[in-house]
Structure 1
Amino acid sequence: MKDSLFMGRKKFVCHTELPYHITARCINRDWFSVDPEQVWRVMTTHLHFIHLAFDLRIHAFVLMNNHFHMIASAPQGNLSEAMRFFMSESGRDLRTLSNRVNVTYGSRFHRSLLSNQLYYQHAYKYLYRNPVKAGLCARVEDYRYSTLRSLLGLEKMEIPISDDSHWETWGSRFSTLEWLNTDPGQDDWEKIQKGLRRSVFRISPYKNRPSHLEVDAL
C-alpha cells in the first residue's frame, strides 16, 4: 500500500492578499429551523466579532435558507481559525434557539481562492444573485439577509464591510446594481457554480465571452 494513503490532509496555507469565496451548509441540507431574523442576528453578531478578533475582512455576505455565502480575506493568514470560531459559535447559538440535538453544519466550510479581479466579480455576482435565483426576490437589493442593503444605505447592520474600493473600481453604485440584476444566463451560472467548487476558482474559457463578464463593461 502506498505511503500516500497514510498521509493527512494537505496543510492549507492561507493567502494573505487575495480573497476567498466561502460557503457552509446545514447538516443534511436541512433548514436552519430558526426564524430567519434570529439566524441573521446570530450571523451578524459573530461576523462582527471575527472581524475584530481575527482581522477578517468581510467583502460580502448572504444568508440563505440552509447555507451562507461569504467573500472574505484574511491579512493575518488565519482564515481557518476565524471560520472555525465562527461556525462553532454560530452553530452553538442556533442549536440553542432551535433546540437541536445534533450539529448545525453538515461539514467544515468550503473555500475557493479568487485569484484576480474578474474571478472576484464572478463570485460577487453569484453571491448576491443567489436569492434571485432561488426565487426569494425579484432584484438583488430587495433581499433582506444580505450585506448589499448596507452598502446601498438601505439599512444599518453590525457587519463591517470592506468593500468601498470595489465599488469605486467598478464605477457608480447604480451601474453596479444594474449589473448585479442582469441575469448571466444558465450556462454561465453553471460555469461559475462549478468553478467555485474548486479550491482555486477557475472557469473554462469562453469562445465569445459575453460583455457582462468583461471587467471594462461594468
Structure 2
Amino acid sequence: MARPLRIEFSGALYHVTSRGDRREVIFEDDEDHLIFLRTLAEVVGRFNWLCHAYCLMPNHYHLLVETPDGNLSKGMRHLNGVYTQATNRRHMRTGHLLQGRFKGIIVDKDRYLLELTRYVVLNPVRAGMGKKPENWQWSSYRAMTGMTPAPAWLATDGILALFAKRRTTAQQRYSEFVKQGIKSAAIWDELQQQIYLGDEKFVKRVQRKVGIQGDELSIPRAQRRAPAPTLAKIAAKHHERNDAIYAAYSTGAYSYREIAEYYGLHLATVGRVIRGQMLQCEN
C-alpha cells in the first residue's frame, strides 16, 4: 500500500502518534519518559511548535501539535531520531526503536481542538491503566489542570482561555470537561482518507491551501495510492465481519454510510465496530 500523503502548511494542527517497532515498549522507566519530554521541549522551541497535549503510553505516544511554520516532518524526524539514539545508548542496544513512519492526522482546529485535548489524555483510562486521567503521570493532564507546574513548552494558556478568564476556574472546568469525555463517543466519525479530521468542507479548504487536485498531490506516480478493492472483495478476504468493516474503512475509500449500506447496518453500529478495532490496535 502506498504511503499516505504528508500535508504540511503554516498553522496546521495535527494529532500525531508514533509506535514502537513491532509494538514493543518504547519507555522502559521514568528516565526514558524524562528523556523524551526533554527532547520534545527542544523540538517545540527549535521548530516553533505549539504543543497543546501529549500522552506517553508504554509502546506509543500521542501529541497534539500546531505548526506555525509548516514543519511537522522535520520536527518529528528530530524528535524520534534523538530519542532513539539517546535511549539506545542508555540501554546499550542498536536498531530501530520506533516504526518507520509516524502517523499525522490534520485536524479542523475550530471543531476538534478541545475534543482532542481530552482524547489524548484519556488514553490511559481507556487502556485500563487508571480510573482517572490524573492517575497517569506521563500526560499533559496534570500540568493543564494545575496539579503540577506546567512546563514553558506546553501551550496551556490558549486552551484554558476557552473555559474561563480566571486560570483556576478554567483549570477546574477543563478537568470536568476531560472527565465527561470518559463515556463520550469517539471523535473519529469524520476522519477522511485517513489523514483529515473534519468534514468535506474542511478537506477541500486544506486541499486548496496546499494545491492538492482532487484527492492526490502532484507526487511521483509510484507514491500514489492504488485503487481500493471493492467492498465485496474486502469482505471475501476476511472471515470476521468486524475485521472486514475495519479493513474497508482503513482503505480510506469508503465512508461510514457506504459501509453501513453494504452490510445492512446502522451508522452507529459501524462506528462502534471501527472504534473498537482502533482501540484493539492501540492496546
Q: Could you say which TM-score interval applies, normalised by the shorter chain?
A: 0.7 to 0.9
1:216 equivalent in structure 2: none
Instruction: Please state whether the residue corresponding to 1:22 is helix, strand or coil.
Output: strand
Whichever residue aligns with residue 57 of structure 2, its letter is M
Question: Following the alignment from structure 2 to structure 1, what is the Cα–Cα distance between the partners of residues 176 and 127?
Answer: 19
SS of match in other structure, 1:120: helix
Is the 8 Å Cα contact of residues 112 and 196 (structure 1) preserved in structure 2?
no
In structure 1, list runs of 5 or more residues that go unmatched: 208-218
8 Å contact kept, 2:62–2:120? yes
Q: CA deviation at 1:11?
A: 6.4
Report what 1:199 is aligned to. Answer: 195
- TM-score calculated relative to the size of structure 2: 0.62
- Offset of 1:176 from its aligned partner? 1.8
Q: Please point out which of 56, 72, 87 is paired with 2:80.
A: 87
Q: Which moved more, 1:137-146 or 1:196-205?
A: 196-205
Shift of 1:102: 2.1
DSSP 3-state at the match of 2:99: coil
CA change 1:152–1:10 in 2 (3 A) is: closer
In the alignment, what sits opposite 1:210?
none
The 3 A distance-change label for structure 1 pair 115 and 194 is closer
Corresponding residue of 1:129? 122
| Equivalences for residues 149-160 of structure 1 within 5 A | 149-156=142-149, 158=151, 160=153
Residue aligning to 2:281: none
User: Residue 185 of structure 1: CA displacement?
Assistant: 3.8
> Which residue in the other structure is 2:158 paired with?
165
CA distance in 2, matches of 1:42, 1:31: 15
- Displaced runs of 4 or more, over 6 A: 8-11, 203-207
- SS of equivalent residue, structure 2 residue 6: coil
- Taking a change above 3 Å as real, the CA distance of residues 184 and 138 of structure 1, as seen in their structure-2 partners, is closer
Superposed CA offset, 1:82-115 (max 9, x none)? 1111100001112222333221101211101111
Counterpart Cα distance in 1 of 2:72 and 2:129? 30
Aligned to 2:65: 72
Superposed CA deviations along residues 88-143 of structure 1, whole A, max 9, x for unmatched, are 00011122223332211012111011113222233222101101111111111221
Partner secondary structure for residue 94 of structure 2: coil
| CA positional deviation for 1:12 | 3.4
Distance (Å, rounded) in 2 between the aligned partners of 1:33 and 1:142: 17
TM-score (norm 1): 0.79
Unaligned regions of 5+ residues in structure 2, if any?
165-169, 200-255, 258-266, 269-283
2:176 aligned with 1:178, yes or no?
A: yes
CA-based RMSD: 2.9
Please say if residues 50 and 155 of structure 2, whose CA atoms lie closer than 8 Å, have aligned partners that are also in contact: yes
Partner of 2:109: 116
Residue 11 of structure 2 corresponds to which residue in structure 1?
17
Q: Is the 8 A contact 1:126 1:192 kept in 2?
A: no
